[in-house]
Chain A
Amino acid sequence: MTKTAATPTGELTTMAVVAGETIVLDPRGAMFVPEHDLLAVSDLHLEKGSSLARRGMLVPPYDTAATLARLAAIIAQYRPRIVVSLGDSFHDGGGSARLPDAYRSDLSGLMAGRDWFWVAGNHDPEPPEGVAGHTVREIAVGSLVFRHEPSPKPVPGEVAGHLHPCARIVQRGRSVRRRCFASDGSRVILPAFGAYTGSLNVLDRAYRGLFEWERFFAYMLGNDRTFPIARSLLRPG
């Protein structure tokens, strides 16, 4: 179920109900659960830039700064009591060790005064070095359960990442591709949050068996709001 509501400031907020819990789908790629005062983001891939640089692709070293700045703005707005980073928070095992000091203290600032959970991902199975927070395999809150990789069989209330969902539509002869939340009302997969993360179309075979398509929506990220798009309008590629 999807609804769009206007805030007092006139902004449109897109909400969905997953396993009975109402969730807010922020167009910057984060999910907020008002009931539990919980904010979830997935696939931050911090220090992906320096990971590429190690292999000779000297891409700008500002991705961590960009990702943290976006996260800081969202945290400042929602002021969550709990933050869940749904895995692949660092691009590789050495990522947390490479984190420049300035970013490390930015991150500590964000974590101060709230419960912070690092869900283990395939890129970062070990707890991050020199960073606070609890590292967990998965965590359950209310009727929601947060883990990195979506389970192959439908699990009501599962909130996952890993797949970096995006969707594409063609409207008036033009193609628009955006990152998206993917949900059928039973489970939700979050878009990748990191500044350098690519994405995979929700119609790819990797998503096979995960959703009931007749109730599926791709919540595509716009500049100011999230757009729920039905399965029938989605295109592969």
Chain B
Amino acid sequence: MSEKPRLKPETTPAALPRPFLKWFADRGWAPRAHQLALLASAQAGHSVLLIAPTGAGKTLAGFLPSLVELAERPKRKPGQTHCGVHTLYISPLKALAVDIERNLGKPVDEIGLPLTIETRTGDTPAHKRQRQKLAPPDILLTTPEQLALLIASPDAGRFFADLRFVVLDELHSLVTSKRGHLLALGLARLRRFVPGLRTIGLSATVADPDALRRWLVPQDPPGDMAELITVLGGARPIITILDSDDRVPWAGHSARYAIPEVYQAIRRHRTTLLFVNTRSQAELLFQELWRVNDDNLPIALHHGSLDVAQRRRVEKAMESNALRAIVATSTLDLGIDWGDVDLVVHVGAPKGASRLAQRIGRANHRMDEPSRAILVPANRFEVLECRAALEASTAGAQDTPPLVEGALDVLAQHVMGSACGAPFDADELFEEVRTAAPYAQLDRDTFERVVDFVATGGYALRSYERFARIRRTKDGRWRVSHPRYAQQYRLNVGTIVEAPELTVRYVRAGRGVVSRGGPVLGKIEEYFLETLAHGDTFIFAGKVLRFEGIRDNEAFVSNAAGSDAKVPSYGGGKFPLSTYLADEVRGMLADPDRWQALPAQVADWLRLQRDKSVLPKRGDLLVETFPRGNRFYMVAYPFEGRLAHQTLGMLLTRRLERAGARPLGFVATDYSLGIWGLEDLGRIFTKGKPSLGALFDEDMLGDDLDAWLDDSWMLKRTFRNCALVSGLIEKRHPGQEKTGRQVTVSADLIYDVLRSHEPDHILLRATRAEAAAGLLDVSRLADMLSRIRGRIMHKALDHISPLAVPIMLEIGRESVNGEANDTLLGEAADSLIEEAAA
């Protein structure tokens, strides 16, 4: 075991109380170096970031300072008031909090510590929450949303008066989302209640540990960091890429060709965890495995759309080692301890080196034994990507995404929450907010606009002064103007906005009438269900289902006889290829020496490309043009991920349209972008009308982007999120639950009105910032455009190149874009006219 705890020299070694030493000794164990190092650092008054692989005893390490302090605390005398919470544990998953309660309870009982541990999540009954407020447990296990609720209550100061530690689990996952922003603001508030508060962050390996270290401590002065303790990985994982006898497909994501080999691997291992990137891939893989499951092995399915009860059953079965394989999406990425997984199979490309490492870490929770993993690329480009990820794993490279600045809609929610807790002084709150790392750069003017937004909507037309939700009182503090606004806030707290979903309920197919009351299978996004007609079939929850109809907020389905089915194509869980892996794949293409590590058929493919067209140098962008059928195509290979390519495709088609090239459509994958049109694109570029250099000029990110952006459905969808998170519109109103559709309609209408009347409103600013970072990936596109300036290589061909085959196969498979345009209405109206004329 290689551990390298780094400590400040002046820190005294930790003293572990006798009962702890005995507990370790009784089990023939010794406390690990990092556990003692963390204890010493915390006892010296520091906040600490612990980076360690799974199986390193991270949880115990994180709680050790609390347990030691609580063990030495004098007993409460009868009649003495209850102490407040001593340690707060925050994790991204409710399930993780429940899991920790069990896992921590064991050593606590065995050591004989007189302390109480309780969870508080959305599932905790109201009477228990009420009791927790009066008699708080010593250790409270909870989620970011619950923390936001706790600090928004008037007695928060008293509740947290005795707080000493905050333990933040899976910190690497928390910090990259809006939940992380909300949590950072909550921590800043806790520090106001308890100035000496220590935080302990537990994290998997990340690319930039310093960002997390800053996140854990007040940025006062800016740049302050928590102590860092790093436990290097144990045994290196043994990763292989599935080398199938069968042909690796050119395109697609199903990996159907590899099913027999994957099944054999499952048979050879005790428990196999199969990861995929999307829920629809999970459904498909599950179906395919059962098709060949001649031994009737217990193989289960687990993803975020399935009904909770169903997921819990699978988790229980996993804990008791009753399963041989589980097909899962990112819902099992995080650190719950499941039975004896001895193999991880990753179907489809891993998309990031760190992501792969974390998933592989799910196998084998003893860190001195190597984890085993098999990568199953679904197509040829994914072979390259898998190879790059494997090499990154060997080199220990990390590519977790960089942290982004705190979102303003989240800040608005926090400002309202602050007022719900107690009247606040704007100067004090501004200073407090700036101690939270994501908001360290926040300027006063923006802050004022956010407060103004919370109060009256922040509109230039100041017509809502009389309806203000918070008001400045005589002493200059902002106070909630009516208790019902505090109630509204509590109902709508949180930053997770799901796409509108419908409950899927199983019914017997009746004769014209469907019977109500069958079991709930899970939830599916409304937009998918809307495209189904009565009688359509699709795969969900491991079954082939027949769509019967929608009533209220439920979709009715029945058993479908055949096995021919559509698959839910819901979007969740599509990660773009990481910058690091993209660069590695480009490097691999450019260097024939590295092809030896690839399967023969893939190396042959690249050789063919070299002969028929060309392979770009590592930093270059290759653009091929060729005619096919009665159309002309261009295919570019930036390798910057699907989102950035989609944005690029939108912008390039606009430009080509203006240049008279009459583009018809485009398709984007993680690796390349294909555009087709009616004019000879090769000739246009050769003649320089425009040249490729002009076409790919960075100025496309100016006016073209703005013009397209404002009309884009992506911006509308993002606006809806911001409007919900900021409290402009409500997910839930006291006494009534809104359906997703009602919210969607009104958010779209509000967006249209606001955009035309006050385009620089603070919420539109928040929306553009979020879309640029998220759905559009503008920064990555900008980096790419500047990288390839003067390095574009045009290859005009007579026919399609080997490298272009995969994206050409995608054409028609993915819809061109999500705009609901009039063309479709026109077609529907015309089909009628034709019918009438016939």
A residues adjacent to B (C-beta < 8 A): 50, 53-54, 56-63, 65-66, 100, 168-178, 195-199, 220, 222-225, 227-230, 233, 235-237
> What is the CA–CA distance of A174 and B746 in the complex, to the nearest angstrom?
21
Could you say which of A195, A196, A227, A235 has the most chain B C-beta atoms within 10 Å of its C-beta? Answer: A227
Stretch at the interface among B124-132, B177-185, B391-399, B827-835: B827-835
Contact across chains for B822 and A223 when beta carbons are under 8 A apart: yes
B593 within 8 A of A: no
Cβ B459 vs Cβ A60 within 8 A:
yes
A63-B730 Cα distance, complex, nearest whole Å: 19
Contact at B550–A58, with CB atoms within 8 Å? no
Contacts of A224 in B (CB 8 A): 822
Partner of A56, one of B484, B822, B826: B484
Interface-side segment among B225-233, B261-269, B333-341, B753-761: B753-761
The 28 listed contacts between A and B (C-beta, < 8 Å) are: A50-B464, A50-B467, A53-B464, A53-B467, A56-B482, A56-B484, A58-B456, A58-B467, A58-B469, A59-B729, A60-B457, A61-B459, A61-B464, A65-B757, A66-B753, A170-B530, A172-B815, A174-B531, A175-B527, A175-B531, A176-B825, A178-B825, A195-B749, A196-B750, A196-B753, A227-B825, A229-B825, A236-B550
> Inside 8 A of B745's CB, which chain A residues have their CB?
198-199
Provide the residues of chain A in CB contact with B2, threshold 8 Å: none
Chain B min CB distance to A214 (Å)? 14
Tell whether, in the assembled complex, residue A175 and residue B530 are in contact, meaning their CB atoms are under 8 Å apart. yes
Given A60-B457, A229-B829, verify A175-B820 contact (CB < 8 Å). yes
Do A63 and B753 contact each other (CB < 8 Å), given the known contacts A57-B730, A58-B728?
yes
Which residues in B have their C-beta under 8 angstroms from that of A233?
A: 828, 831-832
Closest A residue to B502 by beta carbon equals A237
Report chain B residues within 8 Å CB of A195: 749, 752-753
B488, B746, B756, B757: which contacts A198 (Cβ < 8 A)? B746
Other than A62-B754, A224-B822, A233-B831, give 7 A-B pairs with Cβ distance below 8 A.
Answer: A53-B467, A57-B729, A58-B457, A60-B757, A225-B822, A235-B530, A236-B550
The reply to whether A50 and B757 form a contact with Cβ atoms under 8 Å apart is no
Do B753 and A60 touch (CB < 8 A)? yes
> Counting chain B CB atoms within 10 Å of each CB, which of A176, A177, A224 scores highest?
A176
Give the Cβ gap from B402 to chain A, nearest Cβ, in Å.
33
Contact with A along B496-539 (1 / 0, CB 8 A): 00000000000000000000000000000001001101000000
> Nearest residue in B to A168 (C-beta to C-beta)?
B530
Most B-side CB within 10 Å, residue of A60, A169, A228, A230:
A60
> With a CB–CB cut-off of 8 A, which chain B residues contact A54?
467
B-side binding surface: helix, strand, loop or mixed?
helix
Whether the pair A59, B728 counts as a contact (CB closer than 8 A) is: yes
- CB of B467 within 8 A of CB of A66, answer no
Q: Which residues of A contact B815 (CB under 8 A)?
A: 172-174
Assess the A56–B485 pair: CB atoms within 8 A. Answer: yes
| B742 interfacial by beta-carbon distance below 8 Å | yes
Any chain A CB within 8 A of the CB of B600? no
**Minimum distance in angstroms from B828 CB to a CB of chain A:** 5
The reply to whether B530 and A50 form a contact with Cβ atoms under 8 Å apart is no
Task: Tell me the chain B residues, 193-226 only, with Cβ under 8 Å from chain A.
Answer: none
B461 at the interface (CB under 8 A from A): yes
Residues of A within 8 A of B464 (CB): 50, 53, 58, 61
Per CB-CB distance, the 6 closest pairs between chain A and chain B, nearest first, are A58-B457, A62-B757, A171-B824, A227-B829, A222-B822, A227-B825
Q: Give Cα A177–Cα B820 distance, bound, in whole angstroms.
A: 8
Chain A residues with Cβ below 8 Å from B831 are: 233
Contact residue among B484, B756, B828 (Cβ-Cβ distance under 8 Å from A169): B828
**Which residues on the A side are within 8 Å of B296 (C-beta)?**
none
- Using CB atoms, name the residue of chain B closest to A233: B828
- Which residue from chain A places its CB closest to the CB of B755 in the assembled complex? A60
Q: B832, A228: Cβ atoms under 8 Å?
A: yes
Query: A99 CB to closest chain B CB, in angstroms?
Result: 11
Verify if B320 is at the interface (C-beta below 8 Å from A). no
A96 CB to nearest B CB, Å: 15
Complexed CA–CA distance, A197 and B748 (Å): 11
Closest A residue, CB atoms, query B456: A58
Across the two chains, which residue of chain B brings its CB closest to A177? B820
A65 to B469, CA, bound (A): 24
* A220 x B825 contact (CB < 8 A): yes
A56 touches B461 (CB 8 A): no
In the complex with contacts A171-B827, A175-B531, A56-B488 CB distance below 8 A = yes
Which of chain B's residues have a CB closer than 8 A to the CB of A199? 745
Q: Whole-angstrom distance between the alpha carbons of A56 and B827 in the complex? A: 43
